[in-house]
Homo-oligomer: A and B are copies of this chain.
Amino acid sequence: MLDNVTRPALIIREPVCRNNIRRMAEKALKSNVIFRPHFKTHQSEQVGNWFKDYGVKQITVSSAEMAMKFAKAGWKDISIAFPANPREIPLYNELAGNIRLNLLIDSTEVCRALAGKINKTTAIFIEIDNGYGRSGIAHIFEHKIDQIIREIDKARHLSFKGFLSHSGNTYSATGTEEIKNIYQKNIAVLQSMKEKYLPSHPGISISIGDTPSCSIVEDLSGADEIRPGNFVYYDLMQYYLGSCRMQDIAVAIACPVTGIYPERNEIVVYGGAVHLSKEQLLRDGKFYGFVVQFTDDGWTEPIGGTSVISLSQEHGIIRSTADFISSVKHGELLGILPVHSCLAADLLKENMLVV
């Protein structure tokens, strides 16, 4: 199956991936919310096409560049879920001439910059920060939010689409109950904002994001739209958050064994920070991935007592048991389940293989 893999490659299990997509699509349907998946995780035209089989027509991306790529691939309704960047307005105009484009802002300054230069109809979400502390405006700044909406209303080519948030604080939650609480608090704030502005702006909606909330909360009907991204592949971070089972992880990085060191209980693979990223987890020590063995139709459960403990640019150091180390051969491919699949997939987007 992987005979032609010579250097680190992202191996994608299509059936697992499709199951992840199907489950999320079914939950969205049952909750009566629009499913607008975030394509920043896979950034792949091929994987993107699988979503069409589950009724997806609207997508989310994290950059204007990515929006261009998927617009060229035929997607017609794209949200760039990253604060609008005044330096990319020409690209936004090009996009808005071809697709339904949704941008997000959190300030009157950027709204005015867009208003002066956007010359094709563009929908605008206001990003709300409900405690994550990254981008977005906190709902308590009512006066500022009023001001932004007035600026949008004044602008000829901008239309107010609603409120959007990303509860990235679910990633530091200590359990699924905390994730559910973050979700509920987030939805309550967004709903109250929607209610306030719905009379003056009929048709506005609320859009929520993160994979932990969308995976763990059963009924998402409080939102109008969901934008999870990571769930397509999942990863060890999501596994430890309780978002997925180990067998739901749809990607492994295939890495050739280049060194075997029984005297220090370690193996070195061709697979480093430029393939896996330096995203780490802390659980009984720091690690960058778990190790699996490839089988005819996928891979095994993680090998017990075995993890990637260190990464340099191209080298990955795996600490393992004497038993496993004695079974490994130079040149053999091992699979690494990544800590954060979005970053590994970004690094390996030119070198992926679907199985």
Residues of A within 8 A of B (CB): 5-7, 40, 62-65, 82-88, 91, 106-107, 109-110, 113, 133-135, 138, 168, 256, 258-260, 263-264, 266, 268, 270, 273-274, 277-280, 310, 312-315, 317, 329-331, 333, 342-343, 346-347
A4 to chain B, nearest CB (A): 9
A109's partner among B109, B278, B329, B347 (CB-CB below 8 A) is: B329
The 23 sampled A-B contact pairs (Cβ below 8 Å) are A6-B87, A6-B91, A7-B64, A62-B313, A62-B314, A82-B270, A85-B256, A85-B331, A86-B330, A86-B331, A87-B256, A87-B331, A106-B259, A107-B260, A107-B330, A110-B330, A110-B331, A133-B264, A133-B266, A138-B263, A273-B343, A274-B343, A277-B278
| Cross-chain contact A65 with B264 (CB below 8 angstroms) | no
| Cross-chain contact B270 with A85 (CB below 8 angstroms) | yes
In the bound complex, CA of A209 to CA of B82 (Å): 41
**Which 9 pairs from chain A and chain B are nearest by CB?**
A86-B331, A83-B258, A6-B87, A278-B278, A109-B330, A135-B259, A62-B314, A274-B346, A87-B256
Closest B residue to A168 using CB positions = B312
**Which secondary structure dominates chain A's binding surface?**
mixed
In the bound complex, CA of A88 to CA of B62 (Å): 35
| Cross-chain contact B313 with A342 (CB below 8 angstroms) | yes
A315's partner among B82, B88, B279, B312 (CB-CB below 8 A) is: B82
| Cross-chain contact B85 with A6 (CB below 8 angstroms) | yes
B residues near A312, Cβ cutoff 8 Å? 134, 168
Closest B residue to A107 using CB positions = B330
In the bound complex, CA of A279 to CA of B288 (Å): 13
Closest B residue to A266 using CB positions = B133
In the bound complex, CA of A110 to CA of B313 (Å): 21
B residues near A268, Cβ cutoff 8 Å? 83, 134-135
A256's partner among B86, B313, B317 (CB-CB below 8 A) is: B86
Closest B residue to A8 using CB positions = B63
B residues near A274, Cβ cutoff 8 Å? 343, 346
In the bound complex, CA of A130 to CA of B346 (Å): 34
In the bound complex, CA of A256 to CA of B168 (Å): 22
| Cross-chain contact A258 with B330 (CB below 8 angstroms) | no
In the bound complex, CA of A146 to CA of B285 (Å): 37
In the bound complex, CA of A87 to CA of B263 (Å): 25
In the bound complex, CA of A261 to CA of B181 (Å): 25
A87's partner among B5, B87, B110 (CB-CB below 8 A) is: B5
In the bound complex, CA of A14 to CA of B329 (Å): 45
A109 to chain B, nearest CB (A): 5
Closest B residue to A274 using CB positions = B346
Known pairs A40-B314, A86-B330, A278-B280 / 17 extra A-B pairs, C-beta < 8 Å:
A5-B87, A6-B85, A6-B87, A6-B88, A6-B91, A7-B63, A7-B65, A7-B88, A62-B314, A82-B314, A82-B315, A83-B258, A84-B258, A133-B317, A135-B315, A168-B312, A278-B343
